[in-house]
């Protein structure tokens, strides 16, 4: 298993993100997606985690299965919220003992259940520090080009991100839609004296119905992109919208590579077709 920080020193990376399936049907879809995208030889793949014992086990099972049964290089997500320090230490020890060397350290959304317990750690920086004390992990942290939704100001968000990146090995951004958003983020962090690699996150817009949801996730689709999608719909319907969304994402990826981004990280939603089309259009097969 290769550590992501070592891969980033060697060359540009291409990576895919999955979430653990909750049913047999979802597992079947994900299995097909993994087989399809594995053929592109990604540098690594990441597996999300929402917290709680059930989600914790699903993430662990998927990551260790990939480590054992595929050629993929997995990274496990871990969040602070709703865990005691002791529980987080136990999880980290399990990953260390399973030879899972890559970790995404996240704060996580506050639990909404009335009886949910409050975690002892609040911020991803604290989790990075705890992970360093447990094992020799390669650790990534999240970056938000538009700022974290809970941050008071963009400037304060950049300050916190710089501190996280100083402690971690690399960052991965929330998805975004214009090169200017990424350039501003990287420049702001560099102005704070931090030059750790920041991987841009990519999620193509394949339907107009997904536009409002993306805004609620802190990454609104810009008006100019919506105009292109709506124009496509008026001339060719849903299929044309999907095609235009793929074109928008491909253009963004090409601009990011031209800008010198250290790699591309694709949010797949456990589907392979759109990600595969973009990767192949850009010639991103890693072998």
Could you give the residue numbers annotated as active site? 17
Rounded to whole angstroms, the Cα distance separating 54 from 211 reads 30
Place of tokens 């949010």: 267
Inter-CA distances, 179 with 252, 256, 261, 282, Å: 7, 6, 10, 16
CA–chain centroid gap for 24, Å, is: 24
CA–chain centroid gap for 178, Å, is: 17
DSSP state of 11: S
Evaluated on CA atoms 120, 123, 127, 132, the torsion sign reads: negative
* Token digits of residue 254: 């090409």
Q: In the chain, how long is the greatest CA-to-CA distance?
A: 57
Residue 11 neighbours by CB distance under 10 Å: 11
């Amino acid at each position: 298993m290769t550590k992501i920080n070592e891969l980033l020193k060697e060359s540009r990376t291409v990576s895919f993100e999955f979430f653990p399936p909750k049913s047999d049907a979802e597992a079947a879809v994900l299995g097909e997606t993994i087989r399809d995208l594995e053929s592109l030889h990604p540098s690594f793949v990441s597996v999300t985690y929402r917290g709680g014992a059930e989600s914790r086990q699903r993430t662990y099972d998927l990551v260790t299965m990939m480590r054992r049964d595929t050629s993929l290089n997995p990274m496990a997500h871990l969040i602070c919220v709703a865990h005691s320090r002791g529980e987080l230490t136990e999880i980290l020890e399990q990953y260390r003992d399973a030879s899972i060397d890559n970790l995404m350290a996240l704060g996580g959304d506050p639990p909404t259940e009335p009886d949910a317990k409050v975690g002892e750690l609040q911020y991803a920086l604290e989790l990075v520090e705890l992970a360093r004390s447990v094992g020799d992990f390669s650790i990534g942290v999240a970056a938000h080009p538009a700022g974290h939704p809970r941050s008071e100001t963009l400037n304060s968000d950049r300050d916190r991100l710089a501190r996280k990146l100083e402690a971690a090995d690399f960052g991965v951004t929330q998805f975004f839609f214009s090169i200017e958003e990424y350039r501003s983020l990287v420049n702001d962090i560099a102005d704070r004296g931090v030059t750790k690699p920041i991987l841009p996150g990519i999620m193509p817009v394949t339907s107009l119905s997904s536009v409002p949801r993306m805004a609620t996730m802190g990454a609104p689709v810009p008006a100019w992109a919506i105009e292109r999608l709506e124009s496509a719909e008026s001339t060719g319907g849903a299929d044309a919208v999907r095609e235009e969304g793929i074109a928008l994402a491909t253009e963004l990826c090409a601009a990011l590579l031209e800008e010198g981004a250290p790699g591309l990280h694709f949010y797949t939603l456990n589907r392979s077709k759109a990600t595969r089309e973009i990767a192949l259009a850009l010639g991103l097969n890693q072998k």
